[in-house]
Amino acid sequence: MKFVIEVLLIAAILFIMVRLWRRTSPGNRAVTTLLMMLFMALAVAAIMAPQLTSRLANIVGVGRGTDLLLYASVIVLLYVVVDNGLWRKEHERRFAHVVRSQALLQARLDAAAPRSPETVDPAVPSPPGDSPPHRDGSADGSPPAVNHV
């Protein structure tokens, strides 16, 4: 029965490693591959010979190998959460900068482009003083002023 769980755990580790490797950019693959191979070797060693984690735990002053693995997992999880939060914040800032730059560029292009009746978007209101005269000849559609003399 121990053999079944060992095979399942090693298969899960291999699956995770392949998924991570495929998502890594080619420039970082050498370092990532080395780190993954090291992690995989340690994980397989811990699965196949759990007494090694107990010995390592005793060397560093932890009672059991499972406790050592739990502490290491908590540290890795905290690192991933903090790193992911910082990464996300940086990408949100970059995205906001790109959107802001694009909006300013579009505003400059719109201001520089000549406006003709064929190119005016009916959904966008015209600036004041830029509208054509109304049918009655007034600029704003108000009734003509009556002069009572």
Over residues 7-48, the pLDDT tens digits come to: 888 888 888 878 877 777 777 777 777 887 888 888 888 888
The Cα-based distances of 62 to 6, 8, 68, 70, 132 in angstroms read 24, 27, 6, 11, 83
Question: Are 21 and 33 spatial neighbours (Cβ–Cβ below 8 Å)?
Answer: yes
pLDDT band at 90 (very low <50, low <70, confident <90, very high): very high
pLDDT band at 91 (very low <50, low <70, confident <90, very high): very high
Over residues 39-79, the pLDDT tens digits come to: 888 888 888 888 999 999 999 999 899 898 889 889 988 98
| pTM of structure | 0.53
Share of the chain above pLDDT 70, in %: 76
Over residues 94-117, the pLDDT tens digits come to: 999 999 999 999 999 999 887 766
Over residues 117-149, the pLDDT tens digits come to: 665 566 666 656 555 555 555 555 556 566 665
The Cα-based distances of 50 to 2, 35, 42, 115, 132 in angstroms read 12, 21, 11, 76, 84
